[in-house]
Amino acid sequence: MIHRIAFLSYETAFAPCGGVAAVMSHLPEAIQQRVGKPTILVTPLHYRIAKSQKLFSKMEFVGCVTVRHEGYPITIQVLRWIDKISWYFLLPDDPRYFAGVRHPYDVATWQEPGGAVLLRDSFLFGIAAAKALHIIAPGEPWHVMMQDWEAATAALALCHHPINHKLFLTLHNSYDAHTEEYDLFRFHLPSDGKGGRSLLERVLPHVERPVFTVSKQFAAEITEDVLQTRVIAPHLQSIFKRDPLRGIDNGPFVELAVPQEILSKEGDAAVQALRQWKGSRRRAFIDALKQVGDAARSGKEMPWGGFDPPWGSLPGFLEEVEHDEKMPWFVMGGRDDSRQKGYDVAARAVRLFLNDGGKGCFLFFPIPGDEGLAGLQFLRRLTEEEPFRRRVLIFPFRFREGFMAALQGSHFGLMPSLYEPFGAANEFYLNGTAGIGRATGGITQQIVPRRDGQSFAREIALRAQRYHEPAAPETGILYREADNLPTAVADWHGINRGEYELGREEMDRVRQRSRFPLFEGMVNGLQLALMDASHLYQEHPDEYARMLLAGIKHIQSRFSWEETANLYAQYLLQNS
C-alpha cells in the first residue's frame, strides 16, 4: 500500500522559472486528494529569491541533516510550511548553495560556470532531501516523485537505503547534465563504475518504469523528433526505445477568465457576448497604454517601476488600433529561452508579414532570460523601423495589469516554440485568446488545427491525427516546417550552439539563425499562420469567435488536474 508521497522539485512557485513551478502548484495537491495519503513537497530554499524570502517568516524548524561535500560537513535546516499540503524547504548553513537570484538556475559565479554550480547544488539537494524524508517520517517508506534531473539525484542516495522506497521520475524537459565519477566521490556517493555518463543515465536504472513526461506528444518526440534524437538527447535513445516514456498530460495552468455566463449561452448569443467581452478588455489595455503615455510625457515612474518606456511608438500604436476595429491583435509572452521559446522566429515572421502588407498589431511581453535585455535587442530593432514601430510594442518589464488586459483582449496568442514539452495554449484559451503554435509537444494536443488555411500542411495532419478526430471542431492554427529537411540535423546543431553575438546587429540572434533553412522554414510557416489568422478575423469575425469558444471547451474537456492525478495514481498503486 501507499504510505506517504513526496514530491522533490528544485523549482516551485516560490522560486519559479518555467513549467515545473506551475505543475508543482497543482499536482501534489491533486495527488493527495486522489490517493488520500499524506503528500509533501521538498525543495531547496532559494534564499535570494524574493518570493522565497517573503515566506521565510512563516516556516517552522523541523530538524537538521548533514551532507558531506568534498569532506566538509554542510548542515542543512529542514523547515516546514503548511498549506493545502506540507512544504519542506532545505536551507544550508553555507550561502554558496541555492544562491540563484533571478531564478533558481541562475547560479553562475565569476569563478564557476552555471552548469557546474547547478550540478553541485542538485547533488546537495537530492542527498539532503533523501535524508530529510527520514526526519519527516522516521522508518517509513515513501513513494518519491522526482521532478527533472535536478531532483533525480535523490535516487542515487535512496537506492542503497535499507527501506524500500519507490522512486518515480517525471521529465518536464529533456535537459540532462554530464557527470564524472568524481562528482559521486565528492558527495560520498558509491561509484557505479561507469566513468563519465550523464546524470539521467546514472539515475534511470534505479527508478520505476515507466518514466513519465508531461504530454503524450512530447513522450513520442523524445524518440521521433530529430531535435531530440540527434541533438538534445541522443544518449537516451536506447533507454527510451526499450522503455518508452509515458506521457501524462498536465492540467491547465490558470483558471478560466472568460465569464461563465458567456459560455453558458448558445449560438450567436455566445458569439456576440464573447466579442463584447474581448472588446472591453482591449479598451482596458488601451486605457493602460494611455496612462503609460501620460507617465512618459510627465517624467513619472512607469507602472512597472523605473522610467524606461516600452519599445515602439506608443502614439503610433494607439492611432493604429483606435482607428481600425478590424485590426487583429497578436500577443506573446514568457521568459526568453534562446533554445526553446522562439522570440527570434516571431520577430522575423512579423517583419515579413508586415512587409507584405499583412494587417495586425503585435504585443510582446518577454521576460529577459539568461542573456538579459541584451539578448532581446533584435526585438527592439524591430520597433525602430517603419512601419513596424507603429504596429509592434515590446514590454520587457513586469507589466502585469497591462499584460492581462492585452492577453484577454488579443485575438491570437503566439507559441513559435522550437520544442515544447506541454505548452501554454491552455493559458491563452482560458483567458479568451485563440492559439497559433508550431506543431510540437503538447501544443499539438491543445490546438485542433484549422484545415483550410495556407499554413495547414501534411506535417501538421500527421501529428494532429493522433489526438483529434477529423470531425473535431477546429480551435486554432498550427504550423510546421517541412519534415526531412536534408540540413535539419546540422541546422539544429547550429541553432543550439548559439553563435550569434550580443550587441552586434549584423550578427544578432535573428540574422545569425536566418542562414539555416530549418529556421527559415519555421519563420515561413509562422508567416503563413499569421496571414491565415488575420484573414479569418477580418473577414469572418463570428467564425473566429465560434472557433475560440470551441477552443475553450476543448481545453476544459480534455485537460484537468483530476485526470492527471488519476493517471499518476494508477502507477503509484501498481507499485505499492
HSE at residue 179, side-chain half, CA atoms within 13 A, is 30
CA angle 104, 405, 533 (to 5 degrees): 95
pLDDT tens digit sequence for 504-549: 888 899 999 999 999 999 999 999 999 999 999 999 999 999 999 9
Q: What DSSP line would sit under 264-277, residue for residue?
A: HS-HHHHHHHHHHH
Contact criterion met (CB below 8 Å) for 456 and 450: yes
The answer as to whether 44 is a domain residue is yes
CA angle 452, 453, 455 (to 5 degrees): 130
Domain that holds residue 481: 260-559
Judged against a pLDDT cut of 80, whether residue 143 lies above it is answered with yes
Judged against a pLDDT cut of 90, whether residue 163 lies above it is answered with no
Read off the pTM.
Answer: 0.96
At residue 575, the pLDDT reads 77
For residues 369 and 457, state if they share a domain.
Answer: yes
For residues 297 and 183, state if they share a domain.
Answer: no
- Indicate which CATH number applies to the domain containing 29: 3.40.50.2000
Judged against a pLDDT cut of 80, whether residue 360 lies above it is answered with yes
Residue located via cell numbers 472568460: 258
Judged against a pLDDT cut of 80, whether residue 98 lies above it is answered with yes
Q: What is the mean pLDDT of residues 176-185?
A: 94
For residues 27 and 169, state if they share a domain.
Answer: yes
For residues 301 and 181, state if they share a domain.
Answer: no
φ/ψ of residue 575, rounded to 5 = -110, 35
pLDDT tens digit sequence for 425-447: 999 999 999 999 999 999 999 99
Judged against a pLDDT cut of 70, whether residue 402 lies above it is answered with yes
For residue 40 the three cell numbers come to: 509533501
Alpha-carbon distances of 187 from 63, 114, 197, 221, rounded to whole Å: 21, 19, 16, 34
For residues 288 and 208, state if they share a domain.
Answer: no
pLDDT tens digit sequence for 3-19: 899 999 999 999 999 89
For residues 205 and 276, state if they share a domain.
Answer: no
The answer as to whether 255 is a domain residue is no
Q: Which of 215, 233, 252 is the last residue of a domain?
A: 215
The answer as to whether 233 is a domain residue is no
Q: What is the mean pLDDT of residues 366-386?
A: 93
| Average pLDDT along the chain | 95
Q: Which residue has the higher pLDDT, 124 or 192?
A: 124
Judged against a pLDDT cut of 70, whether residue 77 lies above it is answered with yes
pLDDT tens digit sequence for 181-230: 999 999 999 887 777 799 999 999 999 999 999 999 999 999 999 999 99
pLDDT tens digit sequence for 292-301: 988 888 888 8
Domain count, the chain: 2
Judged against a pLDDT cut of 90, whether residue 462 lies above it is answered with yes
The answer as to whether 571 is a domain residue is no
The answer as to whether 519 is a domain residue is yes
The answer as to whether 130 is a domain residue is yes
For residues 200 and 326, state if they share a domain.
Answer: no
The answer as to whether 226 is a domain residue is no
The answer as to whether 312 is a domain residue is yes
For residues 144 and 266, state if they share a domain.
Answer: no
Alpha-carbon distances of 181 from 81, 127, 186, rounded to whole Å: 36, 16, 9
Residues 6+ apart with CB under 8 A from 38: 4, 5, 32, 86
Q: Which residue has the higher pLDDT, 297 or 405?
A: 405
For residues 177 and 279, state if they share a domain.
Answer: no
HSE at residue 185, side-chain half, CA atoms within 13 A, is 7
φ/ψ of residue 273, rounded to 5 = -65, -40
For residues 401 and 541, state if they share a domain.
Answer: yes
At residue 574, the pLDDT reads 87
For residues 430 and 550, state if they share a domain.
Answer: yes
pLDDT class of 277 with cuts at 50, 70, 90: very high
Sign (positive/negative) of CA torsion 136, 141, 145, 151?
positive
Q: How many CB atoms lie within 10 A of CB 307?
A: 10
Indicate the range of 146-150, 421-425, 505-509, 553-557 predicted with least confidence: 505-509
Q: In the chain, pLDDT over 70 holds for what percent of residues?
A: 100
pLDDT class of 110 with cuts at 50, 70, 90: low
For residues 158 and 306, state if they share a domain.
Answer: no
Q: Which of 184, 200, 215 is the last residue of a domain?
A: 215
At residue 480, the pLDDT reads 98
